[in-house]
Structure 1
Amino acid sequence: MHPLCHSEGLELFLLILGEDKTPATFPPNILKIAESIAWECDGLPLAISVMARTMKGIHNIQQWRHALNKLGRLEMGTEMEEEVSEDAEFMRNMACHILKESQRCIVRCDQRLREIPHLQGWTADLDLVSLNKNLIREIPVGISPYCPSLLTLILRNNDISSIPECFFTHMKALAILDLSQNHSLTSLPDSLSDLTCLVSLVLRYCLELKYVPTLGRLQKLSRLVISGTSVEVVPDLEMLTNLRWLDLSHNEELPKDLTNLSIDCNACLKSLCDALSNTASSSLMNIEIQSCAEMKSLFCLFGNCSFCNNLNNLQSLQLRCLQSLRVICKEDVADTVLPCAIFSHLRHFKISYCNEIETLVTAGLFSQLQNLQTLTVDSCDSLTEIFAVNSSDVDIELLMMVLPPLHSPTSPPWSCLTCQN
């Protein structure tokens, strides 16, 4: 059985824990344990589903810790005999859920299937269908499985060329849909727009994919991956107000009308350009990024980065809780004027709880800040310089004339301009 990736496993885990097809929300201390439990399940859909149903409705952190400990000990095979009676109820619950879940899932991965399972197998109480890594080339025209409870559908790593318009008609509860690596898939049916419970849509390396229907009604969508496709337009992308994870990397011209970009809790992203390097979005005005633990820089400024070369209308930049962030621009140096005028229209810049960055604005950035109105710096523990220039090479008075009076700047305990000899 091919596992889900960590982010997909956590999505499924929280989804089953939630109510009304909405992922569960927890305080940070419980959420951290939930992430660990999902991780211990090794991405196996059945294991994730069993653990989620075992823990559903439990809000006591001690019970969550107990479950994680039990799962870890079972995995290592060191269950002590004297603990059996103590954990009997927990184990009985798991056994019951395993029996039930095996009847609610179709998991047939890497079995060289050439067709999707017969319609009779798609029962009304199905929760999960995973047909990853098979040889399925087509979904028969007119087929419409009646699966009103289906939460997760994984059809990645096949060779599906088209999906019938009616295929999703009776899957209104669908929350996770992964169609990645169907290289011959050229379009998605318009009925995808009716999947209003969708939380995660992953279309990675569908190389021939050109058409995606409007996504504006998918208001629960928090994760959207359209990477390595031929898609040029994603209709109503700006209407996805709950989007937390957006990956538009390795697309030729996607998108042209994006004005607001918000990225939250992306554990993989090391640079903003990692996800958007081939995206030319000259209309992008507002960027907000928070809680991306691995992000070390924002922009690369490479000559072949379409994102950097076309980002010339940015007006607001907000950065929060980027614990690995060291520089704003990867190729920036203190005495070089940057080739891309990314910040020439920037009006508002706010950074907080980014504890690795030492210098905020180098000379290369400084010369672009003629329109800056507010600069807010809060709780960046390692920050020693806000504005840094090399006094031997740069006319400081001239640079200061570039910067307009700030309306509401935060007053840090250090000088606004730090000169380095």
Structure 2
Amino acid sequence: MDWILSFVEVIRSFGVPYINHHRKLEDYMNEFRGNVNSLNSRKRDLELKMKAEERCGKKMKKEVENWLKDVEKANNEVKNIEEKFHSVSFLSRGRLGSFVCQNIEKVNKIYQEGSFLDGVAIDGPPPIGLSFSTTNPEGQINVRTRIWEYLMGDGVPMIGVCGMGGIGKTTLMKYINDQLLKETEKFDIVIWITVSKELNIFKLQNDIAEFLKLQSLPNNELQRAARLKNYLEGRRYVLILDDVWEQFSLLDVGIPDPTLSMGRKVVLTSRLANVCRCMDCEVVKVQPLSKNESINLFLNAVGLSDGQYQRLKDITDKVVEQCDGLPLSIVTIAGSMKGVDDICEWRNALAELENRVESVIEWDIKIFQQLKFSYDRLKDPNIKNCFLYCSLYPEDFVIERLGLIESWIDEGLLGLGTKEAMQDRGQSILNKLEDFFLLERATGFYDEGVKMHDVLRDMALSIAGHQFMGKAGMQLKEFPSEQKWTVSVEKVSLMRNYMLEIPPHISPKWPHLSTLILEDCGLQRISESFFKHMPGLKVLNLSYNYSLEYLPNSISNLKTLNALVLFRCEKLKYVPSLVELTALRKLNLWKTRIEEVPHGIEMLENLRDLLMTSWALEELPVGILRRICHLQCLMIGMTFVKGEEVGQLRKLEWVSCSFRNVQEFKKYAECTQGKCPTSFIFQVGGTPLLRNFGHPPNFKKIEKGVIFTDSEIERCDDRVVPHGLQTLTIVNCDDFKCLNNIPLFRKATDLKECRISHCEGMECVVDLSLSSCDALDNIEELGLFLMENLREVVRVGVAVEIESTSHAPTTPAIFSSLKILNLHFCCGVKKLFPVELLQGLQNLENISVLGCAEMEEIMASEENHEGEGTTLFILPKLKSLELKNLPKLKSICSGGLMIPTDSLQYLYIIKCPEVKRIPLSLPLVENGKPSLPPSLKEITVWSREWWESVEWDQPDAKDVLSPFLRYSQW
């Protein structure tokens, strides 16, 4: 009895709270568990949002990171409390109850702090470098590890990666470059610059500034260096200088001393270890691949199956041995043996390699011999010459594929025939050279390009010997001295130098010279005597000499000339007489300032390509085109041509020109009877414009287009429709009312694109009450721009009846192929599409509506679908919806209509203040809640206030989509 009294006294001493905690421990535990479960649910939701943000390149906020740590601590505390609860004594229940209450409050507080109304992430750093999308290179694991440790550590600021040409230095550093791009915590920028053999501080500064997207640097070298230094000093970066051949001062360039900051690293790659040592680098030598690594690389490149390899193993392993672990040799030789299954061919290849290697000792010569094996396997002399020709371009230069093929055509390396056939032949040769790993694919400015490895370029120049003078991109400021000329030279390339002039005392005696490339040399003057001793010259390329005004008259004596290329000599006013140049097959005067057609052009009966613009010439003189009737490619910009004369050019494959009016276009059509060249762009009326920038035609992407400007398009009957017309553009045709009111359009059944702008008389684009129009079924892109009086895109009117008496009249399913719709600055349009046309818009992918001041609805309907109780899904393939500057827009589509987001990638709604509902249907997960659209990349809206006010048919849609959100005023 005494102990009971003592216990009561103890209870009293703790007070009532203790009793409650003792009595309600189970209730507290259940509440605690429930709150922790809610906390973990919020954590999971937040983590899903975070994954979506990371997909958009965003970075987790620090406060979110700390919150997740707090949740983790709370979860750990749960385990401790559960253990205590299951083993708690009677006397300890009150104390544990009190402890659980405290943790309930903690968990509630953490839960509240996890709302993050301003989002869970911030914009990550912008792209900090150039990604090469490399795969893990074979071998060099120890070297990679060592370089990486130096980069991540603080002790080595300068790293020199050395090794012979072709051993894989650049490939290795490209892989490391891509890995560095992921190290946003360590570095702000990863800069990749290719230096190459001819070091030029001025160019190196320009390359760095261009990489960093800095505005143009001053002309003074010291000021340039200071500007670069000021920019780089405040940043953490890795600067990779690839292919360095000589020592230079980093400070002279504007590169801060990396030893003075832990956030700066410089990596050089070089064939010369001494260069790296002289620049205070920690030298890392790249070693040849091991036997197993070499075999793995070879097998990946040659494409042998396991069965083929086992049968040929003894021979292929010996072939690989001859490569001495050099990756460039391995992949190049493998490329030349791709698809070979005959054991005799493999034995012969091994014998050839062994004989070559036995005869040489020095490493550079040895690798040349290994690579020459692949060159020799090309067999066809024309393909070999196509490869050698690539060495005339500067080192590390991206060569545009189409431009290179045109050069091969000029050289006569692709034979004769149609332009299309020669281009196909050129593409086939390029593919073969890539398959042999003699060229590598690269990205150019206008088109896909190729690059030549510097070792392969050296080998090609070595093979060409005295026949080539390849001094492209060597920063020459003067024409090479006579001591460097050889009488036997056949091809000379001095492109991309800074020579300004060729003075009178320079008159090289090159009796065998066939090709002279002086492209982009900064030439302003060429002496009269320069061309006097070049009797066999066939190709002369002076393109991109922007300041060259006159050509010497001695050009008129180059009677063997096949190609005269003066593309973008933008100050050129005068071209000498061409009367004697009867062998000329190409004349490129695109974007020059010639004041008259060159004298004697009508005598060039062998001319196949004529590309010309003349700002001063309104119309091409009558009779010229009749005389040069074998033309395959005709591009005339800024000048009218006669329809009848163009129509009589029966061999034309590619043409871009302008006719003064519809009558001239009709004359052209009468001559051709609709049978147009393979690729064409015709302008009818208006002011002739520059089209296609004068670049060579691309038969991989054929164009078939007509542009009507300031012309009476409604007077064009269906007989003028060019066969296969794909693109129709109508500009400033004020009498033009609607598309299906013109015979030309009704018969253009192959039409893919239609663009209309500045047509003041147009009130609707298509009027279905007038007539049916088959051309509408194939249109994939429709663009409508700057038409003040346009009221409707489609006027339904009286529905066109389907041939059936048992059904009511219905609207035809027009625009069934439409993918892209652009409506810009058409201020009278109130409704984009009536809902009756929805059945024809199943393939629509991109909608862009900009600056339409009266636009009220995108998908309009006279009926209200809200009361129908069903949801109609529209635009199932929509990828991009762009709505900007639409002050009266109230509805994207009526209630009951929804746009699925299975394909949606981009949504832009900017300055549309009256829009209150976004009718997107998000995919659902098992619990019925909306989930992230699989393709969505970005949502851009006007303001946070507008976004918060928008209604959604799915309650949680806004939270799900918030990670993709961007704000923009434009």
Query: Same fold per TM (> 0.5)?
Result: yes
Cα contact 2:662–2:713 (8 A) shared by 1: no
Alignment-derived partner of residue 416 in structure 2: 25
**In 2, Cα distance between the equivalents of 1:285 and 1:363?**
30
Q: Which runs of 5+ in 2 are unaligned?
A: 1-393, 441-456, 680-700, 729-739, 752-766, 772-970
Relative to 1, partners in 2 of residues 1:186 and 1:97: Cα closer, same or farther, differing over 3 Å? Answer: closer
Task: Report the CA distance between 1:291 and its aligned residue.
Answer: 3.1
- Per-residue CA deviation, residues 147-181 of structure 1 (Å, 9 max, x unaligned), is 12112111121222221222111112211111122
**In 1, Cα distance between the equivalents of 2:725 and 2:643?**
31
Cα contact 2:418–2:632 (8 A) shared by 1: no
Relative to 1, partners in 2 of residues 1:291 and 1:178: Cα closer, same or farther, differing over 3 Å? Answer: same
Alignment-derived partner of residue 9 in structure 1: 404
Aligned partner (choices 648, 656, 677) of residue 320 of structure 1: 677
**In 1, Cα distance between the equivalents of 2:631 and 2:702?**
15
Relative to 1, partners in 2 of residues 1:205 and 1:310: Cα closer, same or farther, differing over 3 Å? Answer: farther
Alignment-derived partner of residue 241 in structure 1: 605
Indicate whether 1:207 and 2:570 are aligned: yes
Amino acid of the residue matched to residue 291 of structure 1? E
Relative to 1, partners in 2 of residues 1:170 and 1:291: Cα closer, same or farther, differing over 3 Å? Answer: same
Q: Which aligned pairs between 1:118-197 and structure 2 lie closer than 5 A?
A: 118-197=481-560
Indicate whether 1:337 and 2:706 are aligned: no
Cα contact 1:320–1:351 (8 A) shared by 2: no
Alignment-derived partner of residue 639 in structure 2: 279
Cα contact 1:200–1:222 (8 A) shared by 2: yes
- Greater relative CO (CA pairs within 8 A, separation 6+): 1
Q: TM-score, structure 1 length as denominator?
A: 0.57
Amino acid of the residue matched to residue 239 of structure 1? M
Relative to 1, partners in 2 of residues 1:3 and 1:255: Cα closer, same or farther, differing over 3 Å? Answer: farther
Amino acid of the residue matched to residue 115 of structure 1? E
Relative to 1, partners in 2 of residues 1:239 and 1:338: Cα closer, same or farther, differing over 3 Å? Answer: farther
**In 1, Cα distance between the equivalents of 2:561 and 2:615?**
23
User: SS state of the match for residue 285, structure 1?
Assistant: helix
Task: Report the CA distance between 1:226 and its aligned residue.
Answer: 0.8
**In 2, Cα distance between the equivalents of 1:12 and 1:155?**
14
Alignment-derived partner of residue 812 in structure 2: none
User: SS state of the match for residue 125, structure 1?
Assistant: coil
Amino acid of the residue matched to residue 178 of structure 1? N
Aligned pairs, number = 303
**Superposition CA RMSD, Å:** 4.7
**In 2, Cα distance between the equivalents of 1:209 and 1:280?**
21
Q: Which aligned pairs between 1:21-420 and structure 2 lie closer than 5 A?
A: 24-25=415-416, 31=422, 34-36=425-427, 38-39=429-430, 68=432, 72-75=435-438, 99-233=462-596, 234-249=598-613, 251-253=615-617, 256-257=620-621, 259=623, 260=625, 275-281=635-641, 285-287=645-647, 288=649, 290-292=652-654, 307-309=658-660, 315-316=667-668, 318=672, 319-322=676-679, 324=702, 326-329=704-707, 337-338=712-713, 354=724
Amino acid of the residue matched to residue 639 of structure 2? T
**In 2, Cα distance between the equivalents of 1:14 and 1:4?**
15
Cα contact 2:504–2:527 (8 A) shared by 1: yes
Task: Report the CA distance between 1:144 and its aligned residue.
Answer: 1.6
Amino acid of the residue matched to residue 129 of structure 1? V
Amino acid of the residue matched to residue 249 of structure 1? T
Task: Report the CA distance between 1:242 and its aligned residue.
Answer: 2.5
Q: Which runs of 5+ in 1 are unaligned?
A: 41-67, 78-93, 267-271, 300-306, 367-379, 384-389, 395-421
Task: Report the CA distance between 1:247 and its aligned residue.
Answer: 1.6
**In 1, Cα distance between the equivalents of 2:538 and 2:593?**
24
Task: Report the CA distance between 1:36 and its aligned residue.
Answer: 2.8
Task: Report the CA distance between 1:264 and its aligned residue.
Answer: 5.8
Q: Percent identity?
A: 24
Relative to 1, partners in 2 of residues 1:130 and 1:321: Cα closer, same or farther, differing over 3 Å? Answer: same
Relative to 1, partners in 2 of residues 1:12 and 1:365: Cα closer, same or farther, differing over 3 Å? Answer: same
Cα contact 2:411–2:539 (8 A) shared by 1: no
Alignment-derived partner of residue 387 in structure 1: none
Cα contact 1:206–1:229 (8 A) shared by 2: yes
Amino acid of the residue matched to residue 257 of structure 1? P
**In 2, Cα distance between the equivalents of 1:213 and 1:254?**
21
Higher CA-based Rg? 2
**In 2, Cα distance between the equivalents of 1:131 and 1:28?**
28
Task: Report the CA distance between 1:243 and its aligned residue.
Answer: 2.3
- Per-residue CA deviation, residues 329-386 of structure 1 (Å, 9 max, x unaligned), is 4669xxx8339x9x89xxx98967x58699xxx97687xxxxxxxxxxxxx9969xxx
**In 2, Cα distance between the equivalents of 1:278 and 1:119?**
43
Amino acid of the residue matched to residue 712 of structure 2? V
**In 2, Cα distance between the equivalents of 1:134 and 1:207?**
18
Task: Report the CA distance between 1:117 and its aligned residue.
Answer: 0.6
